[in-house]
Structure 1
Amino acid sequence: MNNTVPEDGEQLRAAVRERYSRSVGPLLANQPNSANSCCSSDCCTPPSTQDVRDTTSTDCCSTDCCSTSQADPITGDLYNAAELGTLPIAAVLASRGCGNPTALAELKEGEKVLDLGSGGGIDVLLSARRVGPGGFAYGLDMTDDMLAIAERNRQEAGIQNVQFLKGIIEDIPLPNDSIDVIISNCVINLAADKGQVLREAQRVLVPGGRFAVSDIIFQGQIPPALRSDLESWAGCIAGALEENVYRQLLQQAGFTDIEVEVTRRYTLEEIAAGGARASIAVLNEEERRQTEGKFVSAFIRARKPAKQV
């Protein structure tokens, strides 16, 4: 199997879609997720979730089926017990995020929220609770299996002010000036045309609307061996934007008040465990030195300018 990142955007989306469908296949069959993809939990919950689950069961949240040391270093321990205790277990296990944008976006009652790349729906469901019945939360995803899990999770949670949409984040199926807050969780790095994603985000936000996403970024220059590896791309590594480029693309899309806040910093071993082991292994000593600690999870804030009166 060719493991090189395709140059064609649609081929890249198809490759990412296939890997994510494969990763959540067991959840559709009500089985623990054991796939190792972008932010897979390897059938293990972070320590903060274990006090809200039945540890006598045999599901993936049981202490009998896994130890906390197996948790993926990128996705582990992002949500607190109070948040996770309100959600279906499948929403937790389907999460592929690298942060908790709902906790950092300062959502307000009555706001309309859009999650780009909503996956199993964890951030959409949490957002819907935060904005209350007067608000609304949309989730956009391109993967049928993820959408199926998300809708099942919505029904199980009994949340009404939510809609999951099928589409790509480069072409958001919502009208201009319709969303108060855009969130995303470790997804923009997977997009082929990140500039187009940011332009679309700016288009659908209301004047003064907020962009508040968690993403993987690189503080420096990514070695070519990492950039070209498809598994590394699907593992949220190869497609990561360099911080300065991210800022430039936001400015070019028309955003202001841009802030980048590092929330986690990763070692080479943690990056390897997150899906880039093969490409990390071929780095020379200088490349390893330049890469160590430079991949980070970050919370990225920006604002669409308000209309001038």
Structure 2
Amino acid sequence: MNNQKNSSDNYDLREIVRKAYGEVAQQDKSCCGSSCCGNTSAEFVATNLGYQQEELSILPDGANMGLSCGNPVAIALLQPGEVVLDLGAGGGFDVFISAKKVGSAGRVIGVDMTPDMVDKARRNTLSFKALSGLDNVEFRLGEIEHLPIADESIDVVISNCVINLSPDKAQVWREIARVLKPGGRVSVSDLALLKPLPEAVRESVRALVGCIAGAVLIEETREMIHSAGLFIVDCKMNSDFIDQMSTWSDPLYVEISKHLPPETKPGDYVTSLNVTAKKL
């Protein structure tokens, strides 16, 4: 009975996320923190996370929706000819930037569970080809817990603020290990907890869609990576980004702040986490 309930709960959570991000794709406008963010542009968010103007200039219109919380492409140190997989690719933001780095001899595959996002990314591909002259990207519909990718076929897995949306994060890490070639690596930017969130925040659907309510403690993330058979090479926190999001008056963080104890802020609980791991 418990297994059936867990499966039902996981399905419900996926449907909440799928619907919310489908709406973001259909609105065809930039957002940040997974919520519409007023005067804070998606490009402003990206540059604050270390993306270079040269990288952003080759993006099709609408590919950057401000849904990042880190820069996994930078920490992945991509090389020409590599095969890259982006989990939760959205409109193709990190896919297109990665495609430029791996060049015509490489390939980048984006997976997303939201049909509207996949449709958006595939439309963006036409513009990317015209802008870059490259034909080395593809987008597949699928869940990151059940990747539509062959065993040991990927050199590098990247993901940007997506794994926290999964109701079964341990399974995601097992899938990452499955699809990586021996010696392959994974570079993930995501949100992690410095300490447990108040119950009111964890129950907030808006916080779930923004990755916050689904975040787990840093040590839990480490344990899931190790259990999947991966070796952690580097793990760095960036709490400054969370504090910046709060000062930008992002609606998600404003809403979260209402449920926090007095004299505390989101950055006291949540950090942006950059993790690099390797399959031996």
TM-score (norm 2): 0.87
- Give the aligned partner of residue 245 of structure 1: 220
> Is 1:124 matched with 2:74?
no
- Alignment of structure 1 residues 1-309 onto 2, 5 Å: 8-27=9-28, 33=29, 38=34, 40-42=36-38, 44-45=40-41, 49=43, 77-78=48-49, 79-92=51-64, 94-158=65-129, 159-265=134-240, 266-267=242-243, 269-270=246-247, 273=250, 275-285=252-262, 289=264, 292-305=267-280
> Which stretch has the larger CA shift, 214-223 or 203-212?
214-223
CA contact (8 A) 1:234 1:275 kept: no
Letter in 2 for 1:111: E
Q: CA deviation at 1:104?
A: 1.6
Q: Secondary structure at the match of 1:289?
A: coil
Give the number of the structure whose residues are more often helix, by fraction. 2
Same amino acid, percent of matched pairs: 37
CA contact (8 A) 2:86 2:95 kept: yes
Counterpart CA distance in 2 for 1:276 and 1:244 is 24
Structure label with greater radius of gyration: 1
Counterpart CA distance in 1 for 2:79 and 2:31 is 35
Letter in 2 for 1:194: K
> Which stretch has the larger CA shift, 99-108 or 255-264?
255-264
**How many residue pairs were aligned?**
267
Letter in 2 for 1:196: Q
Instruction: List runs of 5+ in structure 1 lacking aligned partners.
Output: 1-5, 28-32, 50-70
- Relative to structure 1, is the Cα distance of residues 115 and 39 closer, same or farther in structure 2, using a 3 angstrom cutoff? farther
Counterpart CA distance in 2 for 1:274 and 1:229 is 13
Counterpart CA distance in 1 for 2:270 and 2:138 is 33
1:251-299 Cα deviation digits (max 9, x unpaired): 11111134211234323935972514334313333xx538543311121
Counterpart CA distance in 2 for 1:115 and 1:184 is 5
Counterpart CA distance in 1 for 2:36 and 2:24 is 8
CA contact (8 A) 2:201 2:256 kept: yes
CA contact (8 A) 1:95 1:120 kept: no
- Give the aligned partner of residue 62 of structure 1: none
TM-score (norm 1): 0.79
**What is the RMSD of the two structures over their aligned residues, measured on CA atoms?**
2.4
Instruction: List runs of 5+ in structure 2 lacking aligned partners.
Output: 1-6
